[in-house]
């Protein structure tokens, strides 16, 4: 009799476990995140910490629609083919509810195309090419950071005030660099019709031959340089340029250089007076940023980088969209993200309905070598919601006509 009762209890327990299993499975929202962690650690290690902080905050507050957020990350080896492969794995095997992430523009475009083909929601955090949301944009892809057109539009007014006629450009020769240079040339020529571009150095990503690049730029005798290099390529370029006196007496306008990920490693080689976009975390005193900075410092015992803000804001955006949609259904998420407003460390942003581009802005200022460390000075935050920095709805419609 005892054995029979034990058997009945065991059977009942097993049945209860089977009944509860789907409930537990439904209690998690999975975000599948794809990125180039091994190839771009300077940006993506802080970025991952920013994501973790956002997940902790969301789950501590009760999750989204009563469910906890679970983050599943994969490395794409900085390769578009691998990015698509791991995106497929996340969707098919891990059964994620949304896709997010990517850093390099070519991998971002590959995942965006995958999302289009699979009709699956994708929130791109970082890739900056304008093709993410404009030419080539698709209904399933949204982008957080200001792209190359937006950042060029924020830099060009000050660049035009320099009244320099002869410009040289240097950039990594892949989608992001090409997009940034195209936007800068277009906008500067519109603001200053007599401008000339007298030299162009397109370098392999991660393999810049800094000596030959600096020599070629010096030989062209430009009045100003537009630089798009970042990471180790930027460090080599700055070092060689300082050594050979390239930057003496000329203006330099540079995308991303004011981000601590790229400015901090320059140390005492940090240049003075470059006009840059960046992130002066040490001087942003808004309540939203102070709260983020303090929470980040408390959790990681380190100061935030721009990657930290991007990772944090991306997860907060995903959670806000899912909450608004009351679902992870792709069509409902797409509808919810159009016009979605999200609170970020930089203030409230909106995902524009016409192109799925967020209105997150950027800080623009000058670099300064302060006691052997690079910082940004004379900076101002330019809001991406300002019509000056985004194409009109009519231009968007024209550029996305293929969609």
Find, among 196, 242, 244, the residue nearest to 219 by Cα: 244
Order of strands, edge to edge, in the sheet holding 68-75? Answer: 68-75, 28-35, 98-101, 122-124, 141-143
pLDDT value at residue 1: 44
Q: How many CB atoms lie within 10 A of CB 384?
A: 25
Residue 12 scores a pLDDT above 70: no
- CB-side neighbour CA atoms (13 Å) of 172: 21
Residue 398 scores a pLDDT above 80: no
Beta strands in 183-322 (DSSP E): 196-203, 224-227, 251-258, 275-278
Interval 133-174: pLDDT, tens: 988 789 999 999 999 999 999 999 999 999 999 999 999 999
Interval 176-223: pLDDT, tens: 999 999 999 999 999 999 999 999 999 999 999 999 999 999 999 999
Backbone angles phi, psi at 192, to 5 degrees: -140, 85
pLDDT value at residue 401: 63
**Which of 11-20, 63-72, 272-281, 282-291 bottoms out in mean pLDDT, i.e. has the lowest?**
11-20
Q: Which residues of 130-142 are buried (b: 16+ CB within 10 A; e: fewer)?
A: bbbbbebbbbbbb
Find, among 389, 380, 295, the residue nearest to 345 by Cα: 295
* Rounded percentage of the chain residues whose pLDDT exceeds 70: 93
Interval 337-389: pLDDT, tens: 999 999 999 999 999 999 999 999 999 999 999 999 999 999 999 999 999 99
Listed in sequence order, the residues at least 6 apart from 327 whose beta carbon sits closer than 8 Å to its beta carbon are 65, 333
pLDDT value at residue 190: 96
Check if the beta carbon of residue 150 is closer than 8 Å to that of residue 385: no
Interval 219-237: pLDDT, tens: 999 999 999 999 999 999 9
Check if the beta carbon of residue 246 is closer than 8 Å to that of residue 229: no
pLDDT value at residue 364: 98
* CA 190 to chain centroid: 27
* CA 186 to chain centroid: 23
Tokens of 258: 């004011």
The band of 19, judged by pLDDT with boundaries at 50, 70 and 90, is very low
The length of the chain, given as a count of residues: 403
Alpha helices in 171-286 (DSSP H): 175-191, 210-220, 231-244, 260-263
Rg (CA), the chain: 23
pLDDT value at residue 390: 86
DSSP type of residue 126: S
Interval 313-336: pLDDT, tens: 999 999 999 999 999 999 999 999
* Rounded percentage of the chain residues whose pLDDT exceeds 90: 89
Check if the beta carbon of residue 90 is closer than 8 Å to that of residue 122: no
Residue 17 scores a pLDDT above 50: no
Find, among 396, 394, 383, 319, the residue nearest to 356 by Cα: 396
Place of tokens 């690049």: 213
Place of tokens 């370029």: 237
Tokens of 65: 């629609």
Tally helices (H) and strands (E) across the chain.
Answer: 13, 14
pLDDT value at residue 392: 74
DSSP type of residue 100: E
- Residue 401: is it exposed, middle or buried by C-beta count within 10 angstroms (0-12/13-18/19+)? exposed
pLDDT value at residue 4: 44
Check if the beta carbon of residue 262 is closer than 8 Å to that of residue 236: no
Question: What mean pLDDT value characterizes the chain?
Answer: 92
pLDDT value at residue 235: 96
Mean pLDDT of 86-107: 97
Check if the beta carbon of residue 219 is closer than 8 Å to that of residue 166: no
Tokens of 147: 């792209």
SS3 123: strand
The band of 14, judged by pLDDT with boundaries at 50, 70 and 90, is very low
Check if the beta carbon of residue 272 is closer than 8 Å to that of residue 250: no
Determine the Cα–Cα distance for residues 142 and 145; give it in Å rounded to an integer: 10
Residue 22 scores a pLDDT above 80: no
Determine the Cα–Cα distance for residues 319 and 311; give it in Å rounded to an integer: 13
Check if the beta carbon of residue 251 is closer than 8 Å to that of residue 161: no
Q: Alpha-carbon torsion 366, 297, 342, 118, what sign?
A: positive
């Amino acid at each position: 009799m005892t054995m029979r009762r034990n058997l009945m209890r065991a059977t009942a327990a097993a049945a209860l476990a089977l009944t509860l299993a789907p409930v537990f499975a439904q209690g998690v929202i999975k975000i599948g995140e794809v990125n180039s962690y091994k190839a771009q650690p300077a940006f993506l290690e802080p970025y991952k910490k920013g994501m973790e902080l956002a997940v902790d905050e969301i789950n501590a507050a009760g999750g989204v629609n009563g469910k906890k957020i679970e983050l599943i990350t994969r490395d794409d080896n900085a390769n578009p083919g691998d990015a698509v492969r791991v995106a497929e794995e996340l969707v098919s095997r891990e059964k994620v509810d949304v896709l997010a992430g990517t850093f390099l523009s070519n991998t971002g475009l590959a995942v965006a195309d995958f999302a289009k083909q699979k009709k699956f929601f994708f929130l791109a955090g970082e890739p900056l090419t304008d093709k993410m949301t404009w030419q080539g944009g698709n209904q399933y892809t949204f982008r957080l950071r200001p792209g190359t057109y937006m950042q060029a539009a924020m830099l060009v007014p000050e660049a035009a005030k320099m009244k320099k006629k002869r410009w040289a450009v240097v950039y990594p020769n892949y989608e992001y660099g090409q997009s940034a240079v195209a936007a800068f040339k277009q906008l500067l020529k519109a603001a200053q019709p007599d401008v000339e571009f007298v030299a162009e150095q397109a370098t392999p990503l991660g393999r810049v031959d800094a000596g030959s690049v600096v020599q070629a730029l010096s030989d062209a005798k430009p009045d100003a340089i537009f630089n798009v290099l970042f990471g180790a390529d930027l460090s080599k370029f700055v070092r060689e340029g300082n050594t050979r006196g390239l930057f003496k007496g000329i203006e330099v306008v540079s995308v991303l250089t004011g981000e601590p990920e790229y400015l901090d490693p320059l140390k005492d080689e940090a240049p003075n007076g470059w006009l840059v976009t960046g992130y002066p975390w040490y001087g942003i005193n808004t309540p939203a940023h102070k709260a983020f900075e303090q929470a980040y410092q408390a959790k990681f015992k380190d100061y935030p980088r721009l990657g930290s803000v991007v990772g944090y804001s991306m997860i907060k955006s995903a959670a806000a969209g899912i909450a608004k949609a009351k679902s992870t259904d792709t069509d409902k998420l797409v509808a919810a993200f159009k016009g979605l407003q999200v609170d970020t460390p930089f203030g409230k942003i909106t995902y524009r309905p016409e192109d799925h581009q967020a209105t997150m802005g950027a800080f623009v200022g000058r670099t300064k070598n302060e006691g052997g460390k690079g910082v940004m000075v004379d900076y101002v935050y330019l809001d991406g919601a300002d019509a000056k920095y985004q194409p009109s709805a009519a231009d968007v419609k024209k550029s996305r006509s293929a969609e």
